[in-house]
Amino acid sequence: MLKVSNLVKEFGRVRIINSATFQIGQSEIVSLVGPNGAGKTTLVNLISGHILPTSGKIEYLGKDVTFASPYKRIKMGMARNFQITNLFEGSTVLDNIRTCLLSAQEKIHKAFLPVSHYKDITTEAIEILNIFGLSEKDKLLPASLSEGDKKVLDTAMAFALKSRFLLLDEPTSGVATGDKFKVMDIIVAAIRKGKMSCLIVEHDMDIVSDYSDRVLVLSEGAILADGKPSDIMAQSSVKEILFGVR
Amino acid sequence: MEATNIIKRPKSYIYPAVFILLIVLPKVLPTYQLLLIQSGITFAIMCLGFNLLLRYTGLLSFGHGALFAAGAYSVAMMGKYLPSLYRVEILIPAAICVSILVSALFGFICVRHTRIFFSILALALSMVLYALLVKLYNFTGGSDGIRVPIPWMFGIAPTGVRRMAFLTGNYHYFLVCIFALATLVMSAIVNSPFGRALQSIRDNEVRAEMIGIRVRRYRWYAFIVSGIFTGIGGAMWSFVNGHVTPESAEWVFSGEIVYMTLLGGFTVFEGPIVGAVLFTYLKLYAVSLTQYWMLIIGATLIVIVRLLPDGITGAILKLFAAMKRERNKGAS
């Protein structure tokens, strides 16, 4: 589904991503872990087209998208959330989702009938809010949501684009520790149900081992290890990087 | 039952009431007052367009006077150079076409930027148009402007009709209908998916792009739609005023457009309409009161910005909300 080969990104003379190579298959949930500053968010930004790489290649669905615009990638079925929540602060929770659905279903340019006229969109938006447990907060503005709910809404918006490939940058950062698993249960169940592929950036190793099919360990911009969660956790080099123990 | 309905959907009562009021105005108001109201209505159409950019797209244009002038001058120039086509039913579509051309060009350049850069660029472009209108005096009449004669209207010849009779007669009803149509169309636009797209761009440009909205293109569309409304306002105003001058493209007038919208309250859909009509009166009375009338206008602006950031309509709505809360408290 997604094939990244020898990807390099330099900011000035600093090499953030150093020849990263990996693949993600159909309906596979892959976690990306690594210490602070390893380049996880940069990698996500490169894949989503937010920033462009210095060299290397990104192939998506067999097509070269290395320098394709974010818009083009979204229309090819790639969606992302944001580590620091990026919501439409002036619109209600329901409208945040509805805007995504309207855009995904190519109805966003229609300029005469009110949004409420598109009943199927509203029904679908409410369904998505149900899946993510936000249905009772549909009329609130994002500002009055808890930090955890904001994160869930951010992910729900990416989910609403009905993409085949989802990039989730720390979907549980800022969520209270006790709620993390609940949030991940919701997100992963929705992804599995939609048969989506997914790359999740995550810090919490318990979450990584519980929810992902495969783990990529990123260290200083390169993929250090790639394999099943249990195998990865057993490797001493990984332990050293992630936990500082031998 | 009925009372709760009015509270729930006040627009369904207020809109028809205002429409009927405007229709009967020529029967009750003296001509002079009526002309003031008419000029306010044309500004209201313009401010509706202006507010599509300010409120719904988050772009503050300091150059909308140029788009207003585009509409007004297209009417005046048609009268001067193409008298055979000088009919309202041709003039208004022609003004719309010219507005689309001008705003498409201005917008194409401006929407590459946001915030103050957008505002200044719009201002600069409007001053270019102003300079052209002043300097090309053989063509545009220079600073003297162009007289706007009475047009043909739906087959009725203007011969022998006096201006006042024309303005207080058929033209008034035509203007009110155009105004009603403009309000309804704009209200539809801001509540449509397209309106949502604009608001999402205003709220969060990065996210809007990441859900597949073409941010720049949509800003450009918004600028053009805004330009159409402003141009229609200018065209309708040119008949009321009877004369167009380059001043309408100058930055002073562009500033007045911003002022009207803030006065009425840009956060409320109907705010710009109220602001435009009020401004017409405010300016007139300030001018007749003192030669330092700009002082009054400026002082009012300070009061609005400091005390009523949501303008007059915003303040009224807040007052109603507070009264409702009080009543609910009393009931429970």
pLDDT tens profile A40-71: 888 888 888 888 888 888 888 888 888 888 88
Q: Residue A27 has what pLDDT?
A: 81
Give exposure, A6-35, as e/b (b: 16+ Cβ within 10 Å).
ebbbeeeeebbbbebebebeeebbbbbbbe
- The answer to whether the beta carbons of residues B244 and B68 sit under 8 Å apart is no
* pLDDT confidence bin for A246, thresholds 50/70/90: low
pLDDT value for B49: 93
Give the ranges where B242-270 is alpha helix by DSSP (H): 251-264
Please tell me the predicted confidence (pLDDT) of residue B226: 94
Residues A104, B212: C-beta atoms closer than 8 Å: yes
Cα of B188 to nearest chain A Cα, Å = 5
- B211/A91 touch (CB, cutoff 8 Å), yes or no: no
Q: What is the pLDDT of residue B6?
A: 46
Phi/psi zone of residue B199: left (φ > 0), alpha (ψ -120 to 50 degrees), beta?
alpha
State the pLDDT at residue A245.
63
Phi, psi (degrees; rounded to nearest 5) at A217? -105, 120
- What pLDDT is stored for residue B332 in this prediction? 59
Q: Is the CB of residue B220 less than 8 Å from the CB of residue B107?
A: yes
Q: Are B189 and A114 inside 8 Å of each other by CB?
A: no
- What is the tally of helices (H) and strands (E) in chain B? 16, 2
In a domain, B198, yes or no: yes
Alpha-carbon distance of A65 to A7, in angstroms, equals 12
Give the chain A residue whose CA is nearest to the CA of B267.
Answer: A90
Give the Cα separation of A28 and B226 in Å (integer). Answer: 47
SS3 B204: coil
What residues form DSSP beta bridges with A30? A199, A214
Where b means 16+ CB within 10 Å and e means fewer, B252-264 reads: ebbbbbbbbbbbb
Which H/E stretch holds residue B96? helix B88-110
CA distance B51 to B264: 11
Residue B266 lies in a domain: no
The pLDDT tens digits for B254-306 are 989 999 998 888 888 888 999 999 999 888 888 888 888 888 888 888 888 88
Taking 90 as the threshold, does the pLDDT of residue B209 lie above it?
no
Retrieve residue B117's tokens: 């850069």
State the average pLDDT for chain A. 79
pLDDT digits (tens, 9 = 90+) for A190-244: 788 878 888 888 877 777 777 888 888 887 777 777 777 777 777 777 777 777 6
Beta-bridge partner residues of A60: A2, A63
Q: How far is CA B204 from CA A70, A90, A94, in A?
A: 16, 9, 16
User: Testing the interface with A: which of B54, B192, B214, B219 to mutate, by most A Cβ within 10 A?
Assistant: B192
Per-residue pLDDT, B2 = 42
Q: Do A86 and B193 lie within an 8 Å CB cutoff?
A: no
Asked if the model's pLDDT at residue B322 lies above 50, the reply is yes
Whether B191 is in a domain gets the answer yes
Best mutation target among A44, A69, A80, A88 (most B Cβ atoms within 10 Å) is A88
Q: Which helix (H) or strand (E) holds A218?
A: strand A214-219
Instruction: Say how many domains are in chain B.
Output: 1
User: How far B205 CA lies from chain A's nearest CA (Å)?
Assistant: 9
**Is B313 within a domain?**
no
Nearest chain A alpha carbon to B185 = A112
CB atoms within 10 A of CB B251: 17
| B117 to chain A, closest Cα gap in Å | 23
Q: Is A68 on the interface with B (CB under 8 A)?
A: no
pLDDT above 90: residue B179? yes
* Strand ordering across the sheet containing A214-219: A78-80, A165-169, A197-201, A29-33, A214-219, A222-227
Backbone dihedral angles phi then psi of residue B60, each to the nearest 5 degrees: -95, 110
Residue B294 falls inside a structural domain: no
Distance CA B265, CA B277 (A): 13
User: Is residue B69 predicted with pLDDT exceeding 90?
Assistant: yes
Q: Judge whether A118 is closer than 8 Å to chain B, CB to CB.
A: yes
Going along chain A from its start, the domains and CATH numbers come out as 2-243 (3.40.50.300)
Is residue B15 domain-resident? yes
Give the residue-averaged pLDDT of B307-327.
84
| Highest mean pLDDT (candidates A103-112, A174-183, B223-232) | B223-232
Domain that holds residue B49: 10-250
Q: Tell me the chain B residues in contact with residue A114 when contact means C-beta distances shorter than 8 Å.
A: 188, 191-192
- Predicted ipTM of the assembly: 0.75
Minimum Cα–Cα distance from A80: chain B residue:
B210
What's the whole-number mean pLDDT along residues B34-54? 92
Q: In the Cβ-directed half-sphere of B151, how many Cα atoms lie within 13 Å?
A: 29
Residue burial B66-79, b: 16+ Cβ < 10 Å; e: rest: bbbbbbbbbbbbbb
Give the pLDDT score at B7: 53
* CA–CA distance, B50 with B279 (Å, rounded to integer): 15
In this structure, how many other beta carbons lie within 10 angstroms of the beta carbon of residue B129? 22
Residue B242 lies in a domain: yes
pLDDT tens track for B70-119: 999 999 988 888 888 888 888 999 999 999 999 999 999 988 888 899 89
Nearest chain A residue (CA) to B218 = A109
Phi first, then psi: give them for residue B151, nearest 5 degrees: -90, 170
Give DSSP secondary structure letters for B269-309: TTHHHHHHHHHHHHHHHHHHH-TTHHHHHHHHHHHHHHH-T
Q: Measured between CB atoms, does A104 come within 8 Å of chain B?
A: yes
Residue B308 lies in a domain: no
